[in-house]
A = this chain, B = another copy of it.
Amino acid sequence: MAAIPSFSDRERYVRELGEFLRIPSVSREPEHRHDLDAAAAWVAGQLTFAGGRVVETAGHPIVLGEWLGAPGAPTILVYGHYDVQPAGDETGWESPPFEPAVRGGRVYARGATDDKGPVLVALKVAQAFAEQDGGLPLNVRFLVEGEEEIGSPSLPAFLEQHRDELAADLVVSADGAMWRPTEPSIAISAKGLVGLDIVVSGPRIDLHSGRHGGAVQNPNHALARILASLHTPEGAVAVPGFYDGVAPLGEADRAALARVPFDDEAYRRDVAAVPALHGEPGFTTLERLWIRPTLEVNGIAGGGPFTVIPGRATAHVTCRLVPDQRPDAILGAIAAHVGAHRPPGVEVEIVPQPGAVPAYSIPADHPAIAEAEAALRAVYPDREPLLVRMGGTLPAAVLFERILGLKTLLFSFSTGDEQLHAPNEFFRLSRLEEGMRAWAELWLRLAAERVLRGASRI
Contact = CB atoms under 8 A, between A and B. Distances in A.
Contacts of A306: 298-299, 316
A320 B273 contact: no
A414 interface: no
A297 interface: yes
Nearest to A302: B300
Nearest to A228: B228
A138 to B, nearest CB: 33
B214 A279 contact: yes
B215 A191 contact: no
Interface in A197-245: 197, 202-205, 207-218, 220-221, 223-225, 227-228, 230-231, 233, 235
Nearest to A391: B210
Interface string A310-331: 1001011010100000000000
A303 interface: yes
Contacts of A301: 300-301, 304
A167 interface: no
Contact of A345 (B191, B276, B289, B309): B276
A310 B299 contact: yes
A271 to B, nearest CB: 8
A203 B392 contact: no
A22 interface: no
Given A228-B225, A299-B220, A316-B304, A416 B345 contact: no
A interface majority secondary structure: mixed
Nearest to A204: B273
Contact of A211 (B214, B298, B310, B416): B416
> How many copies of the polypeptide does the oligomer hold?
2
Contacts of A60: none
Interface string A263-287: 0000100011111111110000100
A244 B416 CA distance: 55
Interface string A64-76: 0000000000000
A202 to B, nearest CB: 5
Contacts of A189: none
Given A210-B393, A289-B215, A391-B212, A304 B296 contact: no
Contacts of A272: 203, 207, 212, 215-216
A210 B390 contact: yes
A207 B285 CA distance: 15
Contacts of A315: 220
Interface in A372-405: 390-393
A57 interface: no
B313 A318 contact: no
B392 A289 contact: no
11 contacts: A193-B210, A214-B294, A214-B296, A217-B274, A217-B276, A220-B296, A224-B227, A227-B228, A299-B310, A300-B300, A306-B316
